[in-house]
Structure 1
Amino acid sequence: MYNPTTSESLQREHSGGRPSREAAAQIRGRILEAARLLFLRDGYEKTSMDAISAELGMSKRTLYARFAGKADLFEAMVANVLERHLSALEEADLTGRSLREQLWEIADRLLASSLDPDMVALERVVTAEAQRFPKLAQLIQNYAADRTVGLVANVLRSGSGKGIAREQVHRDAKIFLGLMILPSLRGAVLGTEGVGTGTEGAALRQRSMDIFLAGAGYT
């Protein structure tokens, strides 16, 4: 709900003055956070700009000054959630580790991110709205798939010490993610309990790693 720490910035805006760059960024951040909460909890259809405005204690004029409408805000929220998760993944320090250890670290981090409640809820909402927002498929591709595949491909290329063609390394990276991440993510989205966790989940991932490294020729 309304945050009194931003009242001065909002009063300045309501009176016609322009907020500082820092205050503007803070307001945008609060809007995206409220949008995340409501869109992921209630879905796109049941979330309105009125509801987001009420959640914030902020005028709709302030919302529309930054986002053209609900669809625009929804897309910005999706990009914001993905960016936060991908940035954390890309900060992993893989220095001095074997190829297997590097791939395992990436898979571990990506699995934890994929099974985060926000990411599972986001996957459900985006899937439900894919036909309404065809641009979302491209957004997910640009923000998530391409960057994640690129990260794995860089590890394969630098850690294998083999001169494998760039196109093949990218294909292998997609195969790796399909083996290690997608089954658990799909199970979580469908509500399967315990997917990706526990002894059996770890054993399946270990075996998937063995099959990938041997089958793709990185051992």
Structure 2
Amino acid sequence: MREAAVETFLACGYDGTTMEAIARAAGITKQTLYARYPDKRAVFAEVIPWAMSRRDSRAVSVPPEGADLRASLTAIGREALARVADPHLVKLQRIAMSESARFPEFALSAETMAWSPRLRAVMDILRRHRDAGELDIADDELDIAAEHFLVLVEAQPWRLAEFGVYRSDEQTERHLRYAITLFLRGVEPRSDGSG
């Protein structure tokens, strides 16, 4: 039923969707739908964050202990780029953003989703390499450093995807390599000893 509701909202928009259309798409009666949700607003408020978190919680490949730092960040970065270029997720983000004024609770969902498995994986990689002396990041800054890494990797490709623009594999790899290099320049210990 949730999948049917999501697809109906994506196809018709919030204003164009009716409880009858959702029930029809789900293959249930309106009475069954109303028994679970009092109105369209309640359906939308539940199913859009559910769909976004479900797509975002797909398995994240955490590089094994002892893996090279740059290779680990490259693997996580590639997964992040695949996520932001996922057309279904782009549609979900568009509708959530366009309706965010009506659904202030989405701000809390967005904050919660920021603590995604991918963000935690980057934090774990950074912590591991920091503890090995390869990085200069304070413990209370690991989350911020991980966020900055993901923003460097995801922000521009995500903005482009919002407008239906997708880079070639070659452009995407070039973007990722530079984002990793720039990030590492900021977190690797300085050779002059100044942290």
When the two structures are superposed, what TM-score results if normalisation uses the length of structure 2?
Answer: 0.85
1:88 maps to which of 58, 68, 79: 58
- Give the direction of change, closer, same or farther, for the CA distance of 1:82–1:159 in structure 2 (3 Å limit): farther
Structure with the larger RCO, 1 or 2 (CA within 8 Å, 6+ apart) = 2
Counterparts in 2 of 1:69-218, with a 5 A limit?
Answer: 69-90=39-60, 92-96=61-65, 97-142=67-112, 144-147=113-116, 148-160=118-130, 161-162=132-133, 164-192=137-165, 194-195=166-167, 197-217=168-188
Cα deviation digits, residues 160-195 of structure 1 (max 9, x gap)? 324732321111111111110111111101222x33
State the superposition RMSD in angstroms.
Answer: 2.0
1:66–1:159 distance in 2 versus 1, CA, 3 Å? farther
Q: CA deviation at 1:218?
A: 6.7
> Compared with structure 1, are the counterparts of its residues 218 and 155 closer, same or farther at alpha carbon in structure 2 (3 Å cutoff)?
farther
Letter of the structure 2 residue corresponding to residue 120 of structure 1? V
Evaluate the alpha carbon distance shift between residue 60 and residue 141 of structure 1 in structure 2; reply closer, same or farther with a 3 A threshold: same
Q: Distance in 1 between matches of 2:172 and 2:152?
A: 12
CA distance in structure 2 between the aligned counterparts of 1:134 and 1:218, rounded to whole angstroms:
41
Q: Is the 8 A contact 1:89 1:106 kept in 2?
A: no
Q: Unpaired runs of 5+ in structure 1? A: 1-30
1:78-108 deviation digits (Å, cap 9, x = unpaired)? 2322232233233x24214222222211111
Counting matched residue pairs gives 185
C-alpha displacement of 1:56: 2.2
SS in 2 for 1:133: coil
What code does the residue aligned with 2:41 have? A
**In structure 1, how many angstroms separate the alpha carbons of the residues matched to 2:189 and 2:81?**
22
Deviation at 1:137, TM superposition (A): 1.4
CA distance in 2, matches of 1:103, 1:81: 26
Q: Percent identity?
A: 29
Counterparts in 2 of 1:60 and 1:157: CA distance versus 1, 3 Å: same
TM-score normalised by length of structure 1: 0.76
C-alpha separation in 1, matches of 2:114 and 2:64: 24
Cα distance in 1 between the residues matched to 2:7 and 2:177? 35
**Are the aligned partners of 1:89 and 1:109 in contact in 2 as well (CA < 8 Å)?**
no
2: CA distance between counterparts of 1:79 and 1:128? Answer: 14
- Unpaired segments ≥5 residues, structure 2: 191-195
